[in-house]
Structure 1
Amino acid sequence: MMQASTQTALQSNYASHVAMLQNHTRDALARENIDGLVIHSGQAKRLFLDDNNYPFKVNPQFKAWLPVVDNPNCWLIVNGVDKPKLIFYQPIDFWHKVPETPIDYWVEYFDIIYLKQANRVEKHLPYDKSKYAYVGEYIEVAKALGFELINPDQAMHYLHFYRACKSDYELDCMRMANSIAVKAHTAAKQAFFDNLSEFEINQAYLLAAKQGDNDVPYGNIVALNEHASILHYTVLDTTAPSQHLAFLIDAGASFHGYAADITRTYTTQNNEFNALIQAVNQLTIDLANMLKPGLAYVDVQVAAYAGVAKILCDFGVLNMLPEDAVEAGIVSTFFPHGIGHLLGLQVHDVAGHVVDDRGTPKPPPSKHPFLRCTRIIEPRHVYTIEPGVYFIDSLLSDLKSTSNSKFVNWNVIDQFRPYGGVRIEDNVIVHRERNENMTRELGLDL
């Protein structure tokens, strides 16, 4: 159950959220000289040669308007002026649970029509579709319904760009997502120290979050020992290792369609790897504090790269000066991803690589090709900050075959290999005068 105070905060901020979306829609429509958008929540996808469906994932443009994240075959008709029209799918069905008639705070902001048969939606859509655009992924459905304009570029660029600046309602949702994830991370940490398997640790996480594998915003990364060196490890061994040396968990939670994305690393050892965790943790804090309006996010990546270089030299992994390690590019072997990304309705939220609301590209710099955001930081942006240091066999093998191998203390590498690696990730709201590190302020340190 949602706490009454949370419900009150969401309700009080929802009107201004809808007003913001109306303004964005009106401006986006002007770009295309059209009358409105018809936003499709999505529909079920059937498994190949099967009669079961993949888990349903709602269109982000749909859930931006209202917290309906689990109901396919719904439609929104918006024009930035009139009260939005919601076509809410509510079939007669004895095989599956039928969505209940919504009664939440958001209902009053929509004219709601209840749809019993998904294939009968056309009579509720605009008759003349030449001035309306379909927004969604089911292109064949859109064309069958008579839409000629589908996901129009200029309107979509505009909506995506301004989605980065969150309303008060959205920030409340993201705080709730972080609150749920923090509680679940605490449970997973205890499960690690109880020597459970990756599978069991993940179950402890989901139980504490009260969210299933299909409810959390991405597949949880629950990695013990050397598995922490696999950046997107999702295997979940059912058998516990003989020794629990290290634990990396990258796992989030969802609330009303908004995501949390948090990573922590722990060890049972009081040794150099524990000190390495502390060093990466401090770097995360420093980089989160660095965020401010007007700063290029690329500058945070450059600072992260330099920070990891210093850690590698301080811990004797490299026998060179940090600035020389940066110049040589050796750091990429140990830190092969970007420092973070925009966060919101999607874990890796849209419009990270553009410079303006017309979608003008701004790709990542050649030295940091995996950076997911090159935007100028603005108030109400929400970012992840996630530096890491990893000991990845394939990348280390590549490094060993180069002339830079002489700058590497391979005996130190061998000491760290069984632990896999370290990543510490926080979720940060940028305000005009301060940064709000949701993850830390809600109680999750190391």
Structure 2
Amino acid sequence: MMLPDPAPLYADHLATLKARADEALARGGLDHLVIPSGRLHYQHADDLGYPFYVNPQFKAWLPLTRVPDSWVVYTPGRRPTLIFLQPRDYWHVIPDAPSGWWVEHFDIQVIRTPDEAVALLPKPAARCAILGEAHSTLGEYAPNNPQDVVDYLAYHRAFKTPYEIALMRQAQVMAVRGHRAAEAAFRNGASEFDIHMAYCTAVGQDAAELPYGNIIGLNEHAAVLHYTELGRQAPAQSRSFLIDAGASAAGYASDITRTYAADAGSEFQAMIDAVDAAQIQMGQAVGPGVDYKQLHVDAHLRLMGILKDFGVITVSPEAAVASGVSAAFFPHGLGHSIGLQVHDVAGFAASDRGGRIERPEGHPYLRMTRVLAPGMVVTIEPGLYFIDMLLEDAKAAGHGAAIDWDRVAHFKPFGGIRIEDEVLCTETGADNLTRPAFADASSHSR
């Protein structure tokens, strides 16, 4: 599998960002775009810092993710400037001077203390769109996040450039390495913590570098949607394994979920296979002009069809969706936009001038309501779970007869199933970014 090189794609990516910034600043009636990378946060009454996470607006412009107290400055008609903090410091490793294929596109100013940036920032501050969190304030340069500017940039961030797609493909390959190592650890009887460590080692990233905390659940823990406790002791019997984990490539995220049964001949494995086949078809439905809300509702119907086939529900899929029973088994959204952030911005944006497309009634956790268009990348992550609280709620709501409780008891020890890929919307349909990485990794292991 030949991955595209992001370097020759960067100039066009930067041109796209400049054009977007030009329009955003015009709409905001402002002259300069100023983006702080962010500052370290320190724990109360201590000098121990929390992990540093760079401002997503900053890493959109250049592939730097571990550079606190630095700034990107752009004025229409001029080259962008990077104000780069390279402190005099004997407590920590000093960051190397900027280098690589992107530096030729920036004017670079090196500073030794954070305060030195003030003299280099455009003036007056009132004419700047400063994008970031309040903690990044430096003197009079406090992030103001003008709504017109933010709305425009956030909306268009959904449309990934070829440079961004190249990095997202890299993040897929990295994460797949981790997923394969994690599955092998599960097959060898490892604990959740040891599976997590096998994943991080294979990816080459620690917990602070990964785009989000790994979800690694054995057995019933797979029914906890965001299970991150990482048990240190392996269960006496490992029946099932759900892993939701990604990787980061120059700040761009991947987000992949797989579920495995210990017994390849079990009925639970058959249910995994059914969800996997349905997930592939859901991903193939991605295309220009497709309403993501409808994809989500269609997923409910398809998943309820699986539960009907396995005897878990006693009513039709349509009745299960109409009554809300389906939400007891599939309580989250089909997916979300992804890119610079795992749950990327503007999933509900009505236009680049603001506004919001509301979720369908009865689906409060859907994270994406836009109509798809070429360049968008979304996750497709259907799931089926056996969650005591939600099943009890369904029974209390008078829907107990719609569920075969003996079948629920049979599947509950396995927790649940989620399968997740990332899918690029193209001019002609869907381009699954995840499956080819798994297929290539399998071919190389033979």
The TM tier, using the shorter chain, reads over 0.9
Q: 1:103: Cα distance to partner?
A: 1.4
* Deviation by residue 1:119-170 (Cα, 9 ceiling, x = unmatched): 222111113222112111026725x3255x7100000000000000011100
Q: Where does residue 43 of structure 1 map in the other structure?
A: 39
One-letter amino acid matched to 1:136: G
Q: Where does residue 129 of structure 2 map in the other structure?
A: 133
* Deviation by residue 1:258-287 (Cα, 9 ceiling, x = unmatched): 000000000112221111101110111010
Q: Where does residue 361 of structure 1 map in the other structure?
A: 356
Mark the runs of 5 or more structure 1 residues left unpaired by the alignment. Answer: none
Corresponding position: 1:186 with 2:180: yes
Q: Where does residue 371 of structure 1 map in the other structure?
A: 366
* Deviation by residue 1:349-391 (Cα, 9 ceiling, x = unmatched): 0000111001111121122111100011000100100000000
One-letter amino acid matched to 2:385: Y
Q: CA RMSD in A?
A: 1.5
Distance 1:154 1:162 in 2: 13
Q: Where does residue 119 of structure 1 map in the other structure?
A: 115
State the TM-score, normalized to the length of structure 1.
Answer: 0.96
Q: 1:400: Cα distance to partner?
A: 2.0
Mean CA deviation greater in 110-119 or 131-140? 131-140
Mean CA deviation greater in 196-205 or 126-135? 126-135
Distance 2:144 2:388 in 1: 45
Q: 1:140 to 1:272 in 2, by over 3 A?
A: closer
Q: Where does residue 194 of structure 2 map in the other structure?
A: 200
Q: Where does residue 394 of structure 2 map in the other structure?
A: 399
Within a 5 Å distance, the mapping from 1:15-34 to structure 2 comes to 15-34=11-30
Q: 1:140 to 1:179 in 2, by over 3 A?
A: closer
Within a 5 Å distance, the mapping from 1:76-115 to structure 2 comes to 76-115=72-111
Q: 2:320 aligns with which of 305, 316, 325?
A: 325
Q: 1:329: Cα distance to partner?
A: 1.2
Q: 1:68 aligns with which of 54, 58, 64?
A: 64
Q: 1:127 to 1:355 in 2, by over 3 A?
A: closer
One-letter amino acid matched to 1:128: P
One-letter amino acid matched to 1:81: G
Decide whether the 8 Å contact of 1:24 with 1:80 is kept in 2.
Answer: no
Q: Where does residue 421 of structure 2 map in the other structure?
A: 426
Mean CA deviation greater in 128-137 or 63-72? 128-137
Corresponding position: 1:347 with 2:350: no
Q: 1:114 to 1:417 in 2, by over 3 A?
A: same
Q: Where does residue 228 of structure 2 map in the other structure?
A: 234
Decide whether the 8 Å contact of 1:42 with 1:138 is kept in 2.
Answer: no
Distance 2:317 2:235 in 1: 36
Mean CA deviation greater in 401-410 or 337-346? 401-410
Aligned to 1:105, what secondary structure does the other structure show?
coil
Decide whether the 8 Å contact of 1:21 with 1:80 is kept in 2.
Answer: no
| Deviation >4 Å, runs of 4+ | none
Distance 1:173 1:251 in 2: 17
State the TM-score, normalized to the length of structure 2.
Answer: 0.96
One-letter amino acid matched to 2:93: K
Distance 2:73 2:126 in 1: 14
Aligned to 2:347, what secondary structure does the other structure show?
coil
Distance 2:6 2:254 in 1: 17
Decide whether the 8 Å contact of 2:55 with 2:132 is kept in 1.
Answer: yes
Decide whether the 8 Å contact of 1:161 with 1:351 is kept in 2.
Answer: yes
Aligned to 1:190, what secondary structure does the other structure show?
helix
One-letter amino acid matched to 1:406: A
One-letter amino acid matched to 1:15: A
Aligned to 2:257, what secondary structure does the other structure show?
strand
Distance 1:194 1:180 in 2: 22
Distance 1:384 1:107 in 2: 32
Distance 2:37 2:136 in 1: 15
Decide whether the 8 Å contact of 1:29 with 1:79 is kept in 2.
Answer: no
Distance 1:428 1:58 in 2: 25
Q: 1:116: Cα distance to partner?
A: 0.3
The percentage of aligned residue pairs carrying the same residue is 44
Distance 2:56 2:141 in 1: 23
Corresponding position: 1:217 with 2:245: no
Decide whether the 8 Å contact of 2:39 with 2:135 is kept in 1.
Answer: no
Distance 1:79 1:179 in 2: 36
Distance 1:120 1:145 in 2: 13
Aligned to 2:5, what secondary structure does the other structure show?
helix
Decide whether the 8 Å contact of 1:180 with 1:253 is kept in 2.
Answer: yes
Mark the runs of 5 or more structure 2 residues left unpaired by the alignment. Answer: none
Q: 1:167 to 1:106 in 2, by over 3 A?
A: same
Q: Where does residue 8 of structure 2 map in the other structure?
A: 12
* Deviation by residue 1:15-65 (Cα, 9 ceiling, x = unmatched): 000000000000000101110111000000001121110000000000000
One-letter amino acid matched to 2:194: E
Q: Where does residue 256 of structure 1 map in the other structure?
A: 250
Within a 5 Å distance, the mapping from 1:48-59 to structure 2 comes to 48-59=44-55
Decide whether the 8 Å contact of 1:221 with 1:249 is kept in 2.
Answer: yes
Distance 1:140 1:273 in 2: 49
